[in-house]
């Protein structure tokens, strides 16, 4: 008899979600994780004594659109979410700023200080596109079959958009030109575009419009943070799995997927330990999974097709800082009663114009880290003091775009500190106090992300999130139903629909397929 009904390779958040649903249904699950802690790229560790750093994803937005937390009763296992409002804050070089709150009217009041005309346009944009955006999100919660895409997204989006022609035109545009057609002020355009860019495609890429049309959903879900750090989500998931009889083995890299009778039947660790399952589920990167399969078990044509799934040349890098104090933005003095320091709860967006964002991407395309990086600053210790010693803070600084393979052939080991300094210098142009407030730091270059978190070539989305690698084309045509390239092997994680980000939908969708197949 197999050791488990379902044996998981990797214990990232999607694999944990999938395992949680199976365990809740009464199946015996086992998980093998290469890192010393469950969680994959959603983990929090005390790198500098007293300061808790997320190593991967930090902002919890997408998961709020799913029933996962409720279905798996994660609050029973220690998950305590903090609602963060406002959710976005953008300071600009001229001293003005825009703050986006859950409340649309309050957001429009802030936009009006920069552009009264765009305040009206923004209210209309959110009102008109919220129904269509909600259908887009609903499509993420189902396997991307043509039927499901038509049922949950295609026709409903056309039906509930401002007009069918407008919906089609907007979907086929790049989000940069789309936003320029909606708003006058470069500040608001840049703010929404920079958030759309978090998925990867540049502003001018054809058919990237939906990444901006999704924006109204921020006002539906808001942003949240698990108390104690992003990794408290995965720790709650791990406790839930174990409470339902599941086993999680950490510190055990999988070297090989075992086959028997033409089916995936188990996994062998680098230490030579073997574990078996009725089915095997990989939450690892698609290309990592392929390397675990002996060459002869996957037909050559299919292997070439899967190996052709684009990982790209990196994506971004992040620097985690232990700080003596929070950033003091020139555009939003903490003592200002209209601000009151609430902007430190938000993602602080450093991207003054669409041209600025395009320039950063152009440098990236040339294999050169941008000298003028677009940044997201995160100071979650403002809302969650447990992340730092009393009176101290954390600052996470994410930047795009940073190529994994550099045109100069330099090593990230050699230039990582320089790039981190450049990022902090850019933030200091908006918040001058940050340079003298640093206690210590962790620099996570694209190479670090690959080595430590298994994110090949530093792409936090696993595979590029271009339209030709989304929905039924993720990871490739004919492989979007979470069933792997050999019988008995299933896939989940960011390499599958709907892609990267802390959502868990890939895990939940894969669980639905597995529950169907295991019951047969």
The Cα–Cα gap between 330 and 328 comes to 6
Nearest to 449 by CA among 499, 412, 500, 475: 412
Q: What angle do CA 351, 353, 358 make, to 5 degrees?
A: 85
The fold of 4-58+230-309+463-518 is FAD/NAD(P)-binding domain (3.50.50)
CA 109 to chain centre: 29
DSSP 154: I
The Cα–Cα gap between 398 and 380 comes to 13
The size of the chain, in residues, is 520
Q: Tell me the average pLDDT of the chain.
A: 95
- In the structure, what pLDDT confidence band is assigned to residue 427 with cuts at 50, 70 and 90? very high
Pick 161 or 18 by higher pLDDT: 18
- Who's near 381: CB < 8 A, 6+ residues apart? 326, 387, 388, 392, 393, 394
The Cα–Cα gap between 22 and 27 comes to 5
The Cα–Cα gap between 510 and 12 comes to 14
Is it the case that residue 161 has pLDDT exceeding 90? no
Give the tens place of pLDDT for each residue, 447-494. Answer: 999 999 999 999 999 999 998 999 999 999 989 999 999 999 999 999
For the segment 316-335, the average pLDDT, to the nearest whole number, is 92
By percentage, how much of the chain surpasses pLDDT 90? Answer: 91
Domain locations along the chain: 4-58+230-309+463-518, 103-221, 223-227+312-458
pLDDT of 54 reads 98
For the segment 384-411, the average pLDDT, to the nearest whole number, is 97
pLDDT of 156 reads 80
The Cα–Cα gap between 173 and 14 comes to 31
pLDDT of 337 reads 54
pLDDT of 29 reads 98
pLDDT of 340 reads 61
- Tokens 């937005």 correspond to 61
Give the tens place of pLDDT for each residue, 503-515. Answer: 999 999 999 999 9
Rama region for 228: left / alpha / beta (φ>0; ψ in -120 to 50; rest): left
The Cα–Cα gap between 284 and 169 comes to 36
Give yes or no for a contact between 241 and 28, defined as CB atoms under 8 angstroms apart.
no
Is it the case that residue 382 has pLDDT exceeding 80? yes
Give the tens place of pLDDT for each residue, 227-254. Answer: 999 999 999 999 999 999 999 999 999 9
Is it the case that residue 413 has pLDDT exceeding 60? yes
For residues 507-519, b (16+ Cβ closer than 10 Å) or e, as one string? Answer: bbbbbebbeeeee
Is it the case that residue 338 has pLDDT exceeding 90? no
Taken in order 506, 512, 517, 518, is the CA torsion positive or negative?
Answer: positive
Taken in order 318, 369, 343, 501, is the CA torsion positive or negative?
Answer: negative
- Who's near 392: CB < 8 A, 6+ residues apart? 50, 51, 322, 323, 324, 381, 439
The Cα–Cα gap between 20 and 193 comes to 35
3-class secondary-structure state, position 301: helix
The Cα–Cα gap between 157 and 74 comes to 32
Name 438's bridge partners.
Answer: 323
**Token pair of 464, please?**
């590029």
The Cα–Cα gap between 165 and 376 comes to 34
**Token pair of 97, please?**
């700023």
Nearest to 415 by CA among 426, 405, 430, 425: 405
Give the tens place of pLDDT for each residue, 14-66. Answer: 999 999 999 999 999 999 999 999 999 999 999 999 999 999 999 999 999 99
């Amino acid at each position: 008899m197999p050791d488990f009904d379902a044996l998981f390779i990797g214990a990232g958040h999607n694999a944990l979600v999938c395992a949680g649903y199976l365990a809740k249904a009464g199946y015996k699950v086992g998980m093998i994780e290469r890192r010393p802690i469950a969680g994959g790229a959603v983990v929090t560790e005390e790198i500098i004594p007293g300061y808790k750093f997320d190593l991967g994803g930090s902002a919890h937005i997408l998961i709020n659109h799913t029933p996962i937390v409720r279905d798996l009763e994660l609050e029973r296992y220690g998950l305590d979410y903090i609602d963060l409002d406002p959710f976005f804050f953008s300071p600009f070089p001229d001293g003005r700023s825009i703050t986006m709150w859950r409340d649309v009217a309050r957001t429009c009041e802030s936009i009006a200080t920069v552009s009264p005309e765009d305040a009206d346009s923004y209210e209309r944009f959110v009102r008109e596109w919220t129904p269509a955006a909600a259908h887009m999100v609903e499509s993420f919660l189902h396997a991307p079959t043509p039927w499901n895409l038509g049922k949950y997204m295609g026709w409903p989006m056309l039906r509930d958009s401002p007009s069918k022609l407008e919906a089609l035109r907007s979907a086929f545009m790049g989000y940069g030109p789309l936003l320029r057609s909606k708003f006058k002020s470069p500040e608001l355009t840049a703010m929404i575009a920079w958030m759309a860019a978090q998925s990867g495609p540049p502003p001018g890429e054809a058919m990237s419009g939906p990444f901006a049309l999704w924006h109204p959903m921020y006002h539906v879900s808001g942003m949240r943070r698990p108390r104690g750090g992003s990794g408290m989500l995965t720790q709650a998931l791990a406790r839930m799995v174990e409470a339902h009889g599941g086993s999680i083995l950490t510190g055990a890299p999988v070297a090989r997927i075992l086959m028997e009778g033409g089916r995936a039947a188990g996994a062998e660790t680098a230490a030579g330990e073997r574990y078996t399952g009725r089915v095997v589920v990989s939450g690892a990167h698609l290309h990592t999974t392929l390397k675990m399969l002996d060459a002869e078990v996957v037909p050559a044509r299919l292997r070439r097709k899967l190996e052709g799934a684009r990982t790209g040349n990196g994506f971004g890098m992040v620097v985690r800082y232990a700080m003596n104090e929070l950033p003091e933005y020139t555009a939003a003095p903490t003592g200002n009663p209209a601000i009151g320091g609430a902007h430190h709860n938000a993602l602080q967006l450093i991207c003054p114009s669409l041209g600025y964002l395009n320039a950063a991407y152009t440098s990236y395309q040339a294999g050169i880290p941008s000298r003028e990086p677009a940044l997201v600053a995160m100071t979650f210790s403002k809302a969650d003091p447990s992340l730092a010693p009393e009176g101290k803070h954390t600052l996470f600084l994410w930047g795009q775009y940073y190529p994994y393979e550099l045109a100069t052939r330099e090593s990230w080991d050699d230039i990582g500190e320089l790039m981190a300094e450049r990022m902090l210098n850019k933030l200091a142009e908006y918040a001058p106090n940050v340079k003298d407030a640093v206690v210590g730091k962790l620099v996570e270059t694209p190479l670090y992300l690959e080595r430590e978190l298994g994110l090949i070539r530093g792409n936090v989305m696993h595979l590029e999130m271009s339209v030709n690698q989304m929905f039924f084309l993720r990871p490739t045509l004919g492989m979007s139903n979470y069933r792997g390239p050999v019988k008995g092997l299933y896939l989940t994680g960011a390499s599958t629909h709907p892609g990267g980000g802390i959502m868990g939908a890939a895990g939940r969708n894969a669980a639905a397929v597995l529950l169907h197949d295991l019951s047969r």
